[in-house]
Amino acid sequence: MEVTAQPDCALIMANELLTPSMIWANFVASKSFETEILSEEQRDNISLTRFFIDLKEENIKLYCVMATGKKKTDNAILSVQQYKTELKEDLIVNLAGKGYTAMLVDVCGNYEGKGDKYTIYPEELSFANYNEEQVDTTLVNGEIEKTCWYVWAKALKNAISFLKTKEGIEKVGVIGIGKVATSLWQAVSINNQVSCAVFVSDLGWRGYKGINKFSLENEPVFEDEKLSYLASIGPESYAHHVKCPVLMLSPTNSGTFDLDRSYDTLSRISGRAYTAINYSVGYRNSVDYASYKDALICVDKVVNSQDKKVDLPKEIEISCEIVDKKIEIEVVPQENNLKEVCLYASEENIESNKRTWRKITNVSKLVKSKYYF
């Protein structure tokens, strides 16, 4: 498969824009934390503790939920999710059942109808409370530090540090779901404390919404506010700095970003760390259960592994050519003993969110582990 990387937005007008390295060069996460226990609950064999982490320098009370089970490993998983209402604890309960210390972090703060379980920001950081219009806007007017993304990323960096300082925790993996995971990209990059990262429905390039990759002859000319977002906030600019294995999960028909650019994000990580993308075909705003299972398998293999070299699935090779006026597609899975190899195809639509995908299972020939469709 041909992967074409887009120009590095962080290098455009470098004399006027802040790059990820410049933004986070002097940041040092806290090493000492005070907590305030709010409630404790026993759910089956899982202990749930709801508490605040007191981030004194920012005057933030970071709301978290920690889940632990009777069986424990030396590893932890941090999850951040885009829930404007009360946080969903099912994921961390599941992870705790597998032996992890699992922690759910709220960065969205106060939002109408959320109840009383949320992160408390001081008045001067009130812009960090979730605001639909602010989250959907891919512009930066003014200082980066005055954006919700920056405040959320600082909070997540401190939350990761909190887990790393807990007695008995060796490795920390992270799972980010939805647009709020943009800040998790920032927290994971330029950070050697994370062993594995899974990003769900946030593969970057939201700043290019409505600009289809394959309809362009030249890169568009953006206004300064847009360039500032692309350079200092967009995940695609932070991918260069990620050093841990990454699994990206995405619906094929997302309306929030251009699917065709997802491999550009992957190519920016590739070479420094293991990277993979799994698509939920036909989905728009969520991913399928198979992707959820892949996320658990990925963190299990990487975070729980005692080996320095982890055996992860190899990248699939796909190529096509015209043979006798027909398209012949060659697929090399790089894996043995597969139950099924199929191909999804869509034609004549450059708008990725409007494509209709066909599942092709008829293999025309199989030659030395090469499948032809």
What are the residue ranges of helices labelled H in 9-78?
A: 20-24
Residue 2 has pLDDT above 50, yes or no: no
The mean per-residue pLDDT over the stretch 91-108 comes to 94
CATH of the domain at 188: 3.40.50.1820
The tokens for 343 are 């191909």
Q: Give 370's pLDDT tier (boundaries 50, 70, 90).
A: confident
Q: Give 191's pLDDT tier (boundaries 50, 70, 90).
A: confident
Q: Give 49's pLDDT tier (boundaries 50, 70, 90).
A: very high
Q: What is the model's pLDDT at position 308?
A: 60
> Domain limits at 146?
9-303
More confident residue, 158 or 2: 158
**Same-domain check for residues 287 and 367:** no
Q: What is the model's pLDDT at position 267?
A: 87
The mean per-residue pLDDT over the stretch 315-331 comes to 81
For residue 172, being part of any structural domain is answered with yes
**Same-domain check for residues 212 and 327:** no
For residue 311, being part of any structural domain is answered with no
The tokens for 16 are 């006027």
Residue 215, SS3 per DSSP: helix
- Which helix (H) or strand (E) segment holds residue 250: the answer is strand 246-251
**Same-domain check for residues 27 and 93:** yes
Q: What is the model's pLDDT at position 306?
A: 61
The mean per-residue pLDDT over the stretch 77-96 comes to 84
Q: Give 7's pLDDT tier (boundaries 50, 70, 90).
A: very low
> Based on C-alpha coordinates, what's the Rg of the chain?
21
Q: Give 6's pLDDT tier (boundaries 50, 70, 90).
A: very low
Q: What is the model's pLDDT at position 39?
A: 95
User: What's the mean pLDDT when you consider all of the chain?
Assistant: 85
Residue 309 has pLDDT above 70, yes or no: no
Query: Are 177 and 82 in contact, with CB atoms under 8 Å apart?
Result: yes
The tokens for 65 are 């939920």
pLDDT one-digit tens code per residue, 117-158? 899 999 999 999 988 887 888 888 888 899 999 999 999 999
Mark which of 303, 337, 364 sits at the end of a domain.
Answer: 303
pTM tops 0.75: yes
Q: Among residues 360, 199, 196, which one has the least CA distance to residue 278?
A: 199
**Same-domain check for residues 59 and 196:** yes
pLDDT one-digit tens code per residue, 194-237? 999 999 988 888 888 888 888 766 778 888 899 999 999 999 99
Say if strands 34-43 and 358-360 run parallel, antiparallel, or are unpaired. Answer: unpaired
Say if strands 196-200 and 171-177 run parallel, antiparallel, or are unpaired. Answer: parallel
pLDDT one-digit tens code per residue, 326-344? 778 888 877 777 777 788 8
Residue 51 has pLDDT above 90, yes or no: yes
Q: Percentage of residues in the chain with pLDDT exceeding 70?
A: 90
**Same-domain check for residues 23 and 92:** yes
Residue 351 has pLDDT above 70, yes or no: yes
Q: How many CA atoms lie within 13 A of 28 on its CB side?
A: 3
The span from the CA of 196 to the CA of 183, in Å, is 16
Residue 40 has pLDDT above 90, yes or no: yes
**Same-domain check for residues 145 and 236:** yes
Q: Give 85's pLDDT tier (boundaries 50, 70, 90).
A: low
Please give the single-letter amino acid code of residue 84. K
Q: Percentage of residues in the chain with pLDDT exceeding 90?
A: 35
For residue 3, being part of any structural domain is answered with no
The span from the CA of 338 to the CA of 317, in Å, is 15
Q: Among residues 42, 38, 55, which one has the least CA distance to residue 116?
A: 38
pLDDT one-digit tens code per residue, 9-18? 443 443 467 8
Residue 33 has pLDDT above 60, yes or no: yes
**Same-domain check for residues 60 and 175:** yes
* Distance, C-alpha 2 to centroid of its chain: 23
**Same-domain check for residues 242 and 343:** no
**Same-domain check for residues 322 and 269:** no
Q: What is the model's pLDDT at position 255?
A: 81
CA distances from residue 173 to 79, 122, 197, 287 in whole angstroms, order as listed: 9, 29, 6, 20
- Number of independent structural domains in the chain: 2
Q: Give 257's pLDDT tier (boundaries 50, 70, 90).
A: confident
Q: What is the model's pLDDT at position 75?
A: 92
Q: Give 349's pLDDT tier (boundaries 50, 70, 90).
A: confident
**Same-domain check for residues 295 and 323:** no
